C-alpha cells in the first residue's frame, strides 16, 4: 500500500499567500452561525471577516473593492459561476471539515412524512440519504435561514442545518 502522505504538498511559509485584510463570506446570522463563517474563522487567513447574506453578494463585495477576497464552499452548486467570472481570480484553495449537519424539526412534529424540507443548495446531494419523506424541498440562502424558515412554516416541516445554528 502506498503512503498517501507522500502525495500531499506542504507549502513553505514563503509560498503561502499573504494574509487577507478583509475576507467576505456568507453569514446572515448576527452570531456568525454559518459553516462558511466558522471555516473562515478557523482558517485564520484574514484580519477581518465580512458577513454577507449570499455567496453572490460576498463576490460582489470583492468586485466593488469592499473586500479583498471571499470564501465560498466547494460544495456550493454555483461555484462554477465564480471560477468562470473574468473579474475574479482563485487565490487559494483548501479543504476543512464543516460543523456537523443535522436534520431538525419542531419538537412536537415527529413523523416520517413532512410538508417542506428547507436546506441550503450545497446539501442537495445528501437529500437521498434521508430516512424521512417530504412533499417539497425549498432552497434557503443559508443553514441559519433554513432554521428560520422551519420555525415560521405553517405545517409540518424539516430543515438541514449545522449543529450550532
Tell me what pLDDT residue 2 has: 36
Question: Rounded to whole angstroms, how far apart are CA atoms 51 and 70?
Answer: 10
The 10 Å CB-count burial string (b at 16+, else e) for 136-151 is eeeebbbbbbbbbbbe
pTM: 0.77
The cell for 48 is 477581518
Band of the pLDDT at 3, cuts 50, 70, 90?
Answer: very low
Q: Strands 157-162 and 101-105, how do they pair?
A: antiparallel
Q: Quick check: 13 pLDDT over 70?
A: no
Question: Rounded to whole angstroms, how far apart are CA atoms 69 and 37?
Answer: 14
User: Domain extents for the chain?
Assistant: 4-83, 101-162
The values of phi and psi at residue 121, to 5°, are -55, -25
Amino acid at each position: 500500500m502506498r503512503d498517501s502522505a507522500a502525495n500531499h504538498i506542504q507549502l513553505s511559509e514563503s509560498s503561502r499567500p499573504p494574509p487577507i485584510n478583509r475576507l467576505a463570506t456568507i453569514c446572515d446570522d448576527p452570531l456568525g452561525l454559518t459553516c462558511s463563517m466558522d471555516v473562515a474563522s478557523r482558517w485564520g487567513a484574514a484580519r477581518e471577516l465580512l458577513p454577507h447574506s449570499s455567496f453572490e453578494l460576498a463576490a460582489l463585495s470583492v468586485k466593488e473593492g469592499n473586500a479583498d477576497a471571499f470564501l465560498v464552499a466547494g460544495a456550493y452548486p454555483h461555484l462554477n459561476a465564480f471560477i468562470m467570472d473574468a473579474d475574479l481570480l482563485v487565490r487559494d484553495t483548501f479543504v476543512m471539515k464543516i460543523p456537523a449537519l443535522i436534520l431538525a424539526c419542531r419538537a412536537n412534529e415527529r413523523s416520517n412524512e413532512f410538508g417542506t424540507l428547507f436546506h441550503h443548495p450545497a446539501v442537495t446531494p445528501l437529500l437521498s440519504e434521508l430516512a424521512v419523506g417530504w412533499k417539497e424541498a425549498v432552497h434557503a440562502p443559508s443553514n441559519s435561514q433554513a432554521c428560520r424558515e422551519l420555525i415560521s412554516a405553517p405545517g409540518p416541516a424539516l430543515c438541514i442545518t449545522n449543529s450550532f445554528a
